[in-house]
């Protein structure tokens, strides 16, 4: 039987490389399209074709897509929340224009299906917990705004054209492939777990915990940490859903479970056996106290469940990279 062909745009990045790995394991023929601006060559797989290209290069996108694909996975984006507030132009250009290029090239070349990396950042300050797909969207940073606009664009295209999409709203992605096959660590990590890991390895002396006076059990913020391999398996399920049924959806990807900043630090101490030096610092602007997803829709539409539910096991997969 002929393999289904998938073009993974942004496939050399942290989440993209895990998606490529999962697609290869599930017998898809994969091509990665990436400009390697944040993606890394060490994240590429010999079994996947690689094209070095930029999403702002419409001709190259169209030429690539004219080879014919059953689906596109679009993960290419700028994703630093703070930077998006300082330099919204960069985020408008890359995230908005880049996505328009991708979707227009799909329509011109007759590719009907796309799985898009969206984000819990579309919700802004949540009004109730856990967050479902009906929760109002109201981003409070420019990064989240770009993700919401891209969702809306896909919704319009799906109504006007033979265009089918699944937007996956990731909550906090963490961990690495348990077999150590993906090695590319982010260079200037902004997110909690990579920062705690840098303290564990001695690369950083100590870290700050932003706020200890939230209305949460231990006063620190609670997030829904989802293992990147679980995110990846949801992409495989989303592509299958699109190929079989073709309905468009927006779906939250989380674990239904919240973990506080202090609980993350304690779990890292347990897993690594090292003491994590930290100090309490003022709250970080724009941080909700709690952000946890309900993944009922993902279970129902994608027949998907996260395999990783234990935070120590999730952190172990990150620590494996340091000790191997
Ligand atoms: C987690 C918690 C911090 C660093 C971000 C984006 C979101 C999504 C996922 C992409 C918070 C605290 C952090 C530190 C700390 N991205 N923290 N000290 O903000 O929940 O989500 O990544 O789509 O859009 O906003 O993740 O890892 O930055 O923070 O205390 O040095 O850790 O305050 O409570 P966040 P994060």
In this model, does residue 186 exceed pLDDT 90?
no
* Mutation probe of ligand 1 site: the residue of 192, 223, 291 with most atoms within 8 A of C-beta: 192
pLDDT tens, 245-269? 999 999 999 999 999 999 999 999 9
Ligand 1, atom 9: closest residue by C-alpha: 172
pLDDT at 324 over 80: no
| Distance between CA atoms of residues 11 and 21, nearest Å | 10
* Pairwise pLDDT comparison (221 vs 187), residue with the higher score: 221
Q: Whose CA is nearest to atom 28 of ligand 1?
A: 191
Which residue is closest in CA terms to ligand 1's atom 24? Answer: 121
Q: CA-to-CA distance for 240 and 253, rounded, in angstroms?
A: 17
Residue of the CA atom closest to atom 7 of ligand 1 = 121
What gap in Å lies between CA 30 and CA 77, rounded to an integer? 19
The closest residue, in CA terms, to atom 4 on ligand 1 is 192
- How much is the mean pLDDT over the chain? 97
Q: Which atom of ligand 1 is nearest to the CA of 193?
A: 27
Residue with tokens 């990783």: 308
- pLDDT per residue over 279-299, tens digit each? 999 999 889 999 999 999 999
Ligand 1 mean position, distance from CA 24 (Å): 30
CA of 118 to the centre of ligand 1 (A): 16
Q: Is 214 a catalytic residue?
A: no
Which residues sit with their C-beta closer than 6 Å to ligand 1?
79, 81, 119-121, 170, 172, 190-192, 195, 207-210, 221, 223, 261, 284, 287
Q: Which helix (H) or strand (E) holds 14?
A: helix 14-25
Q: Ligand 1 pocket: which of 170, 207, 223 to mutate (most atoms <8 Å of CB)?
A: 223
Exposure string for 172-208, b = 16+ CB within 10 A, e = fewer: bbbbbbeeeebebbeeeeebbbbbbbbbbeeebeebe
Q: Residue 97 and residue 323: Cα distance in Å, rounded? A: 41
Q: What is the pLDDT of residue 246?
A: 94
Q: How far apart are CA 28 and CA 4, in angstroms?
A: 5
CA-CA distance, 54 to 101, in Å (whole number)? 10
* H-assigned helices in 166-227: 192-201
Out of 69, 143, 170, 176, the active site residue is 143
Which protein residue's CA is at the shortest distance from atom 22 of ligand 1?
172
Ligand 1 atom nearest to CA at 195: 31
Q: How far apart are CA 251 and CA 122, in angstroms?
A: 12
**pLDDT-based confidence at 119, cuts 50/70/90?**
very high
Give the per-residue pLDDT at 188: 79
Q: Which of 77, 81, 276, 289 to mutate to test the pocket of ligand 1 (most atoms within 8 A of CB)?
A: 81
Residue 63 tokens, joined: 């030429």
pTM over 0.85: yes
Residue 244 has pLDDT above 90, yes or no: yes
Ligand 1 centroid from CA 192, angstroms: 6
Distance CA 220, CA 201 (A): 23
């Amino acid at each position: 039987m002929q393999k289904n062909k998938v073009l993974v745009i942004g496939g050399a990045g942290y989440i993209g490389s895990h998606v490529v790995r999962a697609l290869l394991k599930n017998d898809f023929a994969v091509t990665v399209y990436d400009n390697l601006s944040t993606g890394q060559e060490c994240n590429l797989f010999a079994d996947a074709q690689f094209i070095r290209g930029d999403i702002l290069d419409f001709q190259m996108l169209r030429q690539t897509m004219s080879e014919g694909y059953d689906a596109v996975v679009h993960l290419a984006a700028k994703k630093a929340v703070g930077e998006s507030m300082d330099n919204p132009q960069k985020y408008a250009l890359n995230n908005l224009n880049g996505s328009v290029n991708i979707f227009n090239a799909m329509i011109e070349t007759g590719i009907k299906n796309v799985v898009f990396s969206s984000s819990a950042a579309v919700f802004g300050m949540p009004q109730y917990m856990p967050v479902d797909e009906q929760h109002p969207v109201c981003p409070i940073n420019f990064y989240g705004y770009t993700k919401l606009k891209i969702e809306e664009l896909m919704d319009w295209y799906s109504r006007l054209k033979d265009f089918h999409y699944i937007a996956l709203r990731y909550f906090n992605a963490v961990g690495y492939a348990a077999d150590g096959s993906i090695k590319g660590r982010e260079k200037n990590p902004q997110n909690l777990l990579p920062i705690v890991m840098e303290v564990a390895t001695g690369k950083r002396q100590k870290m700050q915990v932003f706020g200890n006076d939230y209305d949460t059990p231990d006063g620190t913020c609670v997030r829904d940490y989802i293992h990147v391999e679980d995110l990846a398996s949801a992409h495989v399920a989303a592509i299958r859903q699109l190929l079989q049924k073709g309905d468009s959806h927006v779906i939250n990807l989380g674990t239904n479970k919240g973990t506080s900043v202090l609980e993350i630090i304690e779990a890292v101490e347990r897993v690594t056996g090292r003491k994590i030096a930290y100090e309490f610092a003022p709250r970080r602007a724009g941080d909700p106290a709690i952000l946890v997803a309900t993944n009922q829709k993902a279970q129902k539409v994608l027949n998907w469940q996260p395999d990783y539910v234990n935070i120590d096991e999730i952190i172990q997969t990150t620590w494996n990279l340091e000790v191997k």
